[in-house]
Structure 1
Amino acid sequence: MSALNDLEALGQAVWLDFVDRKFLEAGGLKKLVDEDGLTGVTSNPSIFEKAMGHGDAYDSSLADYDKAHPDAATLDRYESLAVQDIKAAAETLAPVYKKLDAKDGYVSLEVSPYIADDTDAAIAEAAKLWKMVDRDNVMIKIPGTAAGAPAIAATIRAGINVNVTLLFSVEAYKRVAEAYVLGLEERVKAGEPIDRIASVASFFVSRIDGKIDDEIDKRLKAGDADAEALKAVRGKVAIANAKLAYVWYQEFIASDRWQSLAAKGAQPQRLLWASTGVKNPDYPDTLYIAELIGPDTVNTMPPKTMDAFRDHGTAAATLTQDVEGARRTLAEAERLGLDLNGVTDTLVLEGVASFVKSFDDLLGAIAAKQPADA
């Protein structure tokens, strides 16, 4: 037993933010499930770009697909590879899904980042990917943009599990939580079941500190008069922001609106802490796990961060500790002009752009492997 196993007792699920063909075939995912209590997997265009765009692990599968579909577009070729990995991960997690009665055991596959601002296209692609994977324990990832919210509601309404990605602000999180509830309510009105539909809201953390800390460092270098106050909030804004998102979650699930759905078997949309790898070497490498542990949450960890917490992490109920301190941190950040709202808006745009860049690179690498006679 390790610190990772201890998280389950505190109500937090451990997910892996990584997927790779060789890792799956070598039994790496099953080992984490068996030994560390892992209950989920997330993927995104950047992860697939690293997995598929380099090396030869996918070449054989791609060649087989090309023989059967000689005129296939590059996007179709990518999807064939991605779906194979997602199916394999879903099969590994199927016993978890069954044991936990659909409350966990999920693997996520993202819609194309090219359609982050296109509601109708996101709805259509979510339905297409859901049908292609054809596994109950899959979540389709949809960005939590303004256009993404109605797509989320429609996708939930269709009975498809959703992982909402690229959430940075509490306001954006509220918007997608409302979308999740709306989708469930529409199913209830239509007389359809809601007890086996699941969703998570992926709330990003480390990237916020990256932006805020960069601004603080620039001001410190310039000899800012608020130097001591700036130092005091350095590395604390992202965790404070996440804690207040959880405060809202707790208030919301206590509301009459949610309780009405819960009485019909609805599962809460869990907050999932994403971007939990520490970017600043000055901070503890388990920072964004250790400080965000609480009930009905998920932490999706890159392998390096998971290894670090297994090795020397400490599990304690920290998410609801010193909430007033979190409020003071955000109030102080606002007083200092650190513009958290502007930072989170920028991070959404940069997140979409980063995934688009990874997707471009990924499709380019797959296109380069096109058969010579194609």
Structure 2
Amino acid sequence: MSSLLKQLQESGQAPWLDFVDRTFLKEGGLRKLVEEDGLTGVTSNPSIFEKAMGQGTAYDDQYKAFVTANPGASVVETYEALAVKDIQDACDTLRPVFDRLDGKDGYVSLEVSPYLANDTDKTIAEARRLSKMVDRPNLMIKVPGTKAGVPAIRQLIEDGISINVTLLFAREAYIAVAMAFVEGLEARLAKGETIDRIASVASFFVSRIDSAIDKKIDERVAAGDKDADALKAVRGKVAIANAKLAYQWYLDFVKSDRWKKLAAEGAMPQRLLWASTGTKDPSFPDTLYIDALIGPDTVNTIPPKTMDAFRDHGTLKQTLTADVPGAEHVLAETDRLGLDLPGVTAKLVEDGVKLFADAADTLLGAIEAKKAKAEA
């Protein structure tokens, strides 16, 4: 019997791995997941690279070789050389998937610097540069879905660069980047250029929403709030409801005449990707954010521990379109109870940018120390 993860992929949802590491790649860990579990993608971010590069000895040989060959190279240049090598190796491992699926999947994501999250022009320049450095057709550049990120996404899609839009929490923000994707395709088409090999995913974060909302709920319940029962009734349900309604918007949009014109030219839809799918609250099932968000033409990027849990005891069922009225009720209650989902999601974007910038600070500090050691 095939792995549950492979069955997930066969059911229409692509399992991606939210992890990359030099040792894991060298030892064939990624290849094994592709072959045995039907894995079709990989995501990385500064936090992941900080754990991979800042600790252990897996990168030491390349540190030494790079600083010897490039005396005077900056810490950022050193980091990029290391990161690009991992991303290229991961892209090469997934290239057979990319070829077999005719470019519909098989992607590896590399993030632009989190320090540029609020600068449109620098984000565009950085994405173009990283795309050339990696030089693989199955690379996706990750761009945050901030206000500055939206016009950058539109331009990069027009350039023909595949984009993973990250740090989406609010449905309104998702719709803005979906429109940027469409406008980029339309601009490209207007210039007579092809649009059939440009892929994009919109990374919608889930568990962080519940963590923030549930903290508010717990504080109010503990204080004896008069709406305690109603508050408890939506605890742990807001993120999933939010994601379900985002998917409903997607289903409606791909039926529109505007999208059909692009699809007729070979355009691939921008898939919703569920991110931050490791369960933070130990009282919830450890596979909650996979089990509850399974639906066609979507992606779930899964941390290794959660992937192991789903393979072992996940529940495979088409859940993303189940009980949409229930999801609408949860969000109506969230609003009625004054839990301020828009305020929470806006803060989560700010916090997310800061978390990645802090991870980048730590990462570059660790690389500086290793670089100094290699130069000694």
Whether these two folds match at TM > 0.5 is: yes
Residue 29 of structure 2 is matched in structure 1 by 28
Instruction: Give the SS at the match of 1:330.
Output: helix
Distance 1:270 1:62 in 2: 37
TM-fit CA distance, 1:314: 1.4
Q: Within 5 A, what are the aligned runs for 1:65-104? A: 65-104=66-105
TM-fit CA distance, 1:220: 0.8
Distance 1:368 1:312 in 2: 42
Counterpart residue type for residue 107 of structure 1: V
TM-fit CA distance, 1:13: 0.2
1:334 paired to 2:335: yes
Residue 209 of structure 2 is matched in structure 1 by 208
Distance 2:128 2:270 in 1: 20
Residue 320 of structure 1 is matched in structure 2 by 321
Deviations 1:295-346 (A, max 9, x none): 1100000000000000001111000000010000000011000000000000
Do the aligned residues in 2 keep the contact of 1:117 with 1:146 (CA within 8 Å)?
Answer: yes
1:124 paired to 2:137: no
Residue 231 of structure 1 is matched in structure 2 by 232
Deviations 1:74-108 (A, max 9, x none): 00000000000000000000000000000000000
TM-fit CA distance, 1:214: 0.3
Counterpart residue type for residue 333 of structure 1: T
Distance 2:322 2:271 in 1: 19
Aligned residues: 374
Distance 2:78 2:147 in 1: 30
Deviations 1:243-275 (A, max 9, x none): 000000011111111100000000000000000
Distance 2:248 2:321 in 1: 8
Residue 279 of structure 1 is matched in structure 2 by 280
Give the TM-score taking structure 1 as reference length.
Answer: 0.99
Deviations 1:178-228 (A, max 9, x none): 000011001100000000100000000000000000000000110111110
Do the aligned residues in 2 keep the contact of 1:202 with 1:274 (CA within 8 Å)?
Answer: yes
TM-fit CA distance, 1:9: 2.7
1:111 paired to 2:149: no
Residue 189 of structure 1 is matched in structure 2 by 190
Residue 62 of structure 1 is matched in structure 2 by 63
- Unaligned ranges ≥5, structure 2: none
TM-fit CA distance, 1:3: 1.4
Residue 150 of structure 2 is matched in structure 1 by 149
Instruction: Give the SS at the match of 2:371.
Output: coil
Deviations 1:100-136 (A, max 9, x none): 0000000000000000000000000000000000000
Residue 268 of structure 1 is matched in structure 2 by 269
Distance 1:5 1:316 in 2: 13
Instruction: Give the SS at the match of 1:371.
Output: helix
Give the TM-score taking structure 2 as reference length.
Answer: 0.99
TM-fit CA distance, 1:56: 1.2
- Identity value in percent: 67
- Unaligned ranges ≥5, structure 1: none
Residue 15 of structure 2 is matched in structure 1 by 14
Distance 2:98 2:45 in 1: 21
Counterpart residue type for residue 298 of structure 1: V
Counterpart residue type for residue 239 of structure 1: I
Distance 1:260 1:22 in 2: 45
Do the aligned residues in 2 keep the contact of 1:66 with 1:371 (CA within 8 Å)?
Answer: no
1:49 paired to 2:50: yes
TM-fit CA distance, 1:371: 3.4
Instruction: Give the SS at the match of 2:372.
Output: coil
TM-fit CA distance, 1:370: 2.2
Instruction: Give the SS at the match of 2:154.
Output: helix
Instruction: Give the SS at the match of 1:109.
Output: strand
Residue 174 of structure 2 is matched in structure 1 by 173
Counterpart residue type for residue 72 of structure 2: D
Counterpart residue type for residue 363 of structure 1: L
Distance 1:335 1:371 in 2: 56
Deviations 1:1-30 (A, max 9, x none): 121111123210000000000000000000
Counterpart residue type for residue 90 of structure 1: C
Counterpart residue type for residue 293 of structure 2: L
Do the aligned residues in 1 keep the contact of 2:9 with 2:39 (CA within 8 Å)?
Answer: no
Instruction: Give the SS at the match of 1:370.
Output: helix
Counterpart residue type for residue 35 of structure 1: E
Distance 1:299 1:205 in 2: 11
Instruction: Give the SS at the match of 1:178.
Output: helix
Counterpart residue type for residue 353 of structure 1: K
Do the aligned residues in 2 keep the contact of 1:93 with 1:106 (CA within 8 Å)?
Answer: yes
Do the aligned residues in 2 keep the contact of 1:195 with 1:266 (CA within 8 Å)?
Answer: yes
